[in-house]
């Protein structure tokens, strides 16, 4: 329970890292996106790209702190490059919110709040024990032998490694 704010801070950090990338990807849309829409798209992109990078790099090197630093540095340096070279420009109209994005924001917060009010202590929809074993294997062994698409395992491994370090101890 004491790590919940840290998970939120990491999620916010990953979202902020991907905002310039998201702006660059969607800059040629006919309809300009506001900050709420860009933030949601950044969350989705970060949830897919970070574990995918970790999975690809883990094919060539063991999972450790160095791999996690590389995985986070790639989008961070890409965002810095986009901002420094002025390939993207953060405009004033980005901070005007449409009614639809405010409604979507309300729905997301309501869904999150209702999900956290669950009677269960497990917040994973499928099998939290399964994901915990996979995370432990990736952190201890450097890979997981579970026959599944590993993006969830790598995402939780990146978060665990940033919070707890390389030594796996589920008693913390």
CB atoms within 10 A of CB 149: 9
Task: Between 22 and 119, name the one with better pLDDT.
Answer: 22
How many whole angstroms separate alpha carbon 31 and alpha carbon 73?
31
More confident: 5 or 45: 45
- Residue-wise pLDDT tens digits, 9-42: 777 777 788 888 888 888 877 778 888 888 888 8
Enter the pTM of the model: 0.69
* 31-89 pLDDT, tens digit each: 788 888 888 888 888 888 889 999 999 889 888 888 888 998 999 999 999 889 988 87
Averaged pLDDT score across all residues of the chain: 79
Query: CB-based contacts of 56: which residues, under 8 Å, 6+ apart?
Result: none
119-145 mean pLDDT: 68
């Amino acid at each position: 329970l004491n790590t919940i704010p840290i998970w939120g801070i990491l999620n916010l950090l990953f979202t902020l890292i991907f905002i310039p990338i998201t702006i660059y990807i969607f800059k040629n849309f006919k309809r300009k996106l506001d900050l709420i829409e860009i933030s949601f798209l950044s969350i989705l992109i970060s949830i897919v790209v970070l574990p995918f990078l970790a999975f690809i790099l883990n094919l060539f090197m063991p999972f450790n702190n160095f791999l996690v630093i590389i995985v986070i540095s790639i989008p961070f340096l890409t965002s810095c490059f986009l901002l420094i070279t002025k390939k993207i420009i953060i405009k004033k109209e980005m901070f005007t919110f449409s009614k639809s994005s405010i409604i979507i924001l309300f729905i997301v917060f309501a869904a999150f709040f209702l999900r956290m009010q669950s009677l269960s202590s497990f917040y994973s929809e499928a099998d939290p024990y399964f994901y915990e074993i996979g995370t432990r294997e990736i952190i201890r062994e450097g890979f997981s032998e579970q026959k599944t698409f590993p993006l969830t395992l790598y995402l939780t491994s990146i978060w665990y490694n940033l919070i707890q370090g390389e030594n796996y101890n589920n008693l913390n």
